[in-house]
Structure 1
Amino acid sequence: MERRYDIDWLRVIAIGLLLIYHIAIVFQPWAMFLAFIRSETLSTNLWKPMTLLNVWRIPILFYVSGMGLFFAMRKRNWSELIKERAKRILVPFLFGIVAVTPLHMFVFQRYYNMTLNYYPHMGHLWFLGNIFTYVILLLPVFLYLKKAKNIRVKLFLQKLMAYPLTPLLVTVFFIVEVIAFKPTNFALYAETWHGFSLGFLCFFFGFLFMYIGPSFWQNVLKWRWLYLGIAAILFTIRFILYATEAPDYLTVMESNSWILAIFGFCHKYLNKPSQLLSYLSTAAYPVYIIHMLVLYAASALILPLKFPVYMSFPLLMVITFIGCFIIYEFVIRRINLLHPLFGLKWNFKYLKRKKKQPLATKTVDE
């Protein structure tokens, strides 16, 4: 099994876009409805490019998480897998609820002169809770597919991948999902049944695409421009005709078209090792966990200065990214006791290691 650097890059890029997306929320009129610190200088124009991201930014993370589970299952039995997933996902999730999300709520309360209350909650970490639940629910299915005697299923799926647009057939399941749950807004994923069921489908098909193997990647590689064209057309329709909120059956088709196109282009151009990827792929998970705290602290620092949006938005973005990586590099990475709380492995030789780090790095989920 070859190492898949493009999947590592997908995770890193998706989390980076998530940070930018959350920073843009600060400048929207409805920011406080989501318990974000809101700027007094607003920009609805800033949200327009975000509407392109919001239909696939979270789904692609669920896809990639399902792909990561495929790698994790290669060398573990079911009990080892559950134990490993509990360490990597459940422990950071529970720790984050009691020790991370309350901190950014303290900043929120302090900024608005509210009474300081300890408020443990999932916040942005709802994603981790969903992922662990999917692992438990889908593990019997994945173990069934893993058995060698079920190779006929794999061969059948591989034959289907010879045809263009075959991966888009999974959209039928997503259409059934939106019909069943009728989301008021497709992009409301957090702590909703729509978000849970959508993530369930993405996680399952992410695993299935890796299970199918090279024929799936050859398909998205060959037809990447076609998927991109379909996504662009559907986005144009959604943006012009529906003011960014198209019927859900069109939105799910657009979402999966973007994702398949991204898979194809990343596989084409990013499936190669680098020292930067080695660092970022390890940092991405802790950065995701702490980014809301850093964003709230940066907002409390920058927003009172009342800069225009064209200055405050990039400044807030720079401070948030730099702040996250400073905390990761000089606190989380260097204190071994913190490693399991942020999904990292113990590393007693970090400060003493003499050998140069290899270019190859395991996927975060592996």
Structure 2
Amino acid sequence: MMPAAIRRYDIDWLRVIAIGLLLLYHVSIGFQKWGTMIGFITNGESWDSLWPPMTMLNVWRIPILFFVSGMGVYFAIRKRNWKQLLKERTVRILIPYIFGILTIVPLQFLVVQKYYNFELSYNAIPAHLWFLGNIFAYVVLLLPLFYYLKINEEKRVVTLIKKAFSSPFGLLLVIAAFIVEALLANPTIYEMYAMTWHGFFLGLIAFFFGFCFVLSGASFWNMILKWRWLFLSLAILLYAYRLYEMRVSDFQIAIESNLWIFTVFAFVYKYLNHPSRILSYLSQAAYPVYIVHMLFLFLASFFIFPLSIPVQLKFLIVLLFTFIGSFAFYEFIIRRVKFIRPLFGLKINKP
């Protein structure tokens, strides 16, 4: 049996930060010409200055969510057998996934269709919720392995995992796995994760290693803390080169992606591993806000993009509307209406 662990507030913050960056990135897509190709409402005037930070985020914003989700399974499995864990993840992930596909996603696409004067139709597709479908699949696929590691934590296999990830050389195994995935999947664009086999297998790898990182204990976190400045420096160098060259190999992107992720893990572990009232609220709100944010983003785009105001002001208004609308919907409806809570991944007994 895995021992009880101290609450890891930094991992809670990682989830909140990752989802916050995802919302920010999605708002930015509305100001890029290619946004319409992936189903977004886009402004008539692009804001090209957004692209450099977007392309920096794009190589690691989704993979880090998969890592963090794998970490979450480690904590969830501590006091549960495999049946209990599968039931808990079905309630928390699969039910909101199906509900979102049937209700939230069709609503947001009705807004898109209305904006572009398309024929109105019902579209029950995963859209931005594809991530939840992948996570549930990973739980099902990896649960036997995770449960094996749980009941054998004092034996040789787990000892080897802990030893490997107590050294920066162990991280080379992680990077190598991502490189092999990129070579085998051969994605058209590395950053196209949604509903692709590349995104599925990349997420599976990240999910597994996220579990292993937390399983490895303090030795892993102290190691990345020690080497954080090297990770950051190398990530910046690779990003600068990619920005200059415009297009680099998937091999290099896989390396850069992991370096950013290791850097974020280290700095958040150092500075944010403590409780706060803000974190307590945001950690509960992040998941429901993620589910509904696209609806509020499209509503904001619908009303703001036709206005004759500077593009920078449009961005600010759309960003504020998306965040405020999503959090208000969480605070006054999702959080307070008991029967709605499970549909957005919240426990019914915690008003």
What TM-score, normalized by structure 1, do the two folds share?
Answer: 0.93
1:71 corresponds in structure 2 to: 75
Contact map agreement 1:96 1:125 (CA 8 A) in 2: yes
Structure-2 residue corresponding to 1:247: 249
Task: State how far apart, in whole Å, the 2-side matches of 1:119 and 1:148 are.
Answer: 46
Checking the alignment, whether the CA contact within 8 Å between 2:35 and 2:41 is kept in structure 1 is: yes
Pair 1:219-2:219 in alignment? no
**Among candidates 205, 208, 216, match of residue 204 of structure 1:** 208
9-18 or 307-316: which moved more?
307-316
Aligned to 2:155, the other structure's residue is in SS state helix
Cα RMSD (Å) of the superposition? 1.1
Q: Decide whether the 8 Å contact of 1:8 with 1:281 is kept in 2.
A: yes
The correspondence for 1:310, drawn from 287, 309, 312, is 312
Deviations 1:255-308 (A, max 9, x none): 001000110000000000000000000000000000000000010111111322
Percentage of identical aligned residues: 54
| Deviation of the 1:41 alpha carbon | 1.2
Deviations 1:120-146 (Å, cap 9, x if unpaired)?
A: 110000000000000000011111111
Any gaps of 5 or more consecutive residues in structure 1?
351-366
Aligned length: 347
Output the CA distance in 2 between the equivalents of 1:91 and 1:188: 25
How far, CA to CA, are the matches of 2:168 and 2:52 in structure 1? 31
Structure 2 residue 46 is matched with structure 1 residue 17? no
**Partners in 2 of 1:267 and 1:207 — Cα distance?**
16
Matched, 1:230 2:234: yes
Asked if 1:332 is matched to 2:334, the reply is yes
Contact 1:40 1:306 in 2 (8 A): no
| Separation (CA, whole Å) in 1 of partners of 2:33 and 2:74 | 41
In 2, Cα distance between the equivalents of 1:118 and 1:162? Answer: 51
CA contact (8 A) 2:231 2:262 kept: yes
Q: 1:284 and 2:286 equivalent?
A: yes
User: C-alpha offsets along residues 6-55 of structure 1, whole Å, 9 cap, x if unaligned?
Assistant: 00000001101001100111011111111100101112221121000000
User: Relative to structure 2, which stretch is displaced further, 257-266 or 161-170?
Assistant: 161-170
For 2:93 and 2:105, how far apart are their aligned partners in 1?
A: 16
- Whether the 8 Å contact between 1:168 and 1:257 is mirrored in structure 2 is no
Separation in structure 2 between the aligned mates of residue 163 and residue 68 of structure 1, nearest angstrom? 23
Which residue, 114, 117, 127 being the options, matches 2:121? 117
The amino acid across from 1:257 in the alignment is L
Partners of 1:129 and 1:333 lie apart in 2 by: 23
Query: What is the CA–CA distance in structure 1 between the aligned matches of 2:167 and 2:33, rounded to whole Å?
Result: 45
Show the counterpart of 1:127. Answer: 131
Say if 2:285 and 2:330, in contact at 8 Å, map to a contact too: yes
How far did 1:156 drift?
2.0
For structure 2, list consecutive stretches of 5 or more residues without a partner in the other structure: none
Contact 1:168–1:256 (CA<8 Å) still a contact in 2?
no
Instruction: Say whether residues 1:265 and 2:267 are aligned partners.
Output: yes
1:61-100 residue pairs with structure 2 within 5 A? 61-100=65-104
1:354 aligned residue:
none
Q: TM-score, normalised by structure 2?
A: 0.97
In the alignment, structure 1 residue 168 sits paired with structure 2 residue 172: yes
Shift of 1:114: 1.6
Letter in 1 for 2:239: F
Question: 2: distance between equivalents of 1:342 and 1:146?
Answer: 29
Paired residues of 2:166 and 2:216 also in contact (CA < 8 A)? no
**1:153 positional shift:** 1.8
- After TM superposition, give the deviation of residue 152 of structure 1 in Å: 1.4
Distance 2:153 2:75 in 1: 20
Q: CA offset at residue 165 of structure 1?
A: 4.2
Q: Structure 1 segments of 4 or more deviating over 6 A?
A: none
- Determine the C-alpha separation between the residues in 2 that align with 1:222 and 1:164: 10
